[in-house]
Structure 1
């Protein structure tokens, strides 16, 4: 994926290297702004282990997002029929689960997080097999709910996961295009 966003720059993704990228990710996932990532107390070894498990999992993938070549966000893609949401909803063919995390910044750039989620969604929909993206953010994470809505997600219902109460939401390719104009 490579997306150039006017006023922002170029966003690309590459596969995450659990060992080489763990120290960088550790700083991101333990930052106070990443509280909803639920790794606040993680040690470096915990981050390495978590992402090594993802790297070995055929149903879960992690990518490091770059902003003009510099690491700036994390994207995870998973199969909700096998991970995260098993037994919590009825998956449909073409469903893809997604998580994203923007690195903490000393000087936030207006519109950057929205550009990231838009680029992540465009990347997921590049695969013709992806019909719908599924997310399950914490119900208290109002900022991500607004971002999700901006790219076309529609909340379905609250679900109870072992670690949180989540807002199960869906975005079809058509909803994404209507909300963003991307891929139209």
Structure 2
């Protein structure tokens, strides 16, 4: 099966390399994928999956329910997408295959370009990073407060850096509408 990219900056989605959507139906299945995508390549213990997918209200057979969800996720994404590891599961994706992690890398690159005195390069990179956002971060997690707040703070950092780059490029007039909207919010 083709490599899959994951989007969690908005409603959780999986996309094939050609951009077609992989159907990942059901709120719990999307929540499971979101939890795994937050930690690509790392083992997520079953207890953490239960806590985050069911938000403190797990089913009687939580371990069995997680196994069933993982089975459904594998059928949707491909058998190799989710690895079974002692005590948990691991999404077999690289961090750059997940929009949140790609966003964080691009923001770091953009901020570095800005501090290196290259506002044009920074603007392009930061535009790419901000374009990854499609809605509220981690929208499919039942309790997304802490992680989503951190992601939103990072988004504001990216916007601040992007406007700094625009000002350095003499584009203050282009910043004003968005800065006004941010102040109003």
Relative to the length of structure 1, the TM-score reads 0.29
Higher helix share: 2
Relative to the length of structure 2, the TM-score reads 0.29
Larger radius of gyration: 2
Higher strand share: 1
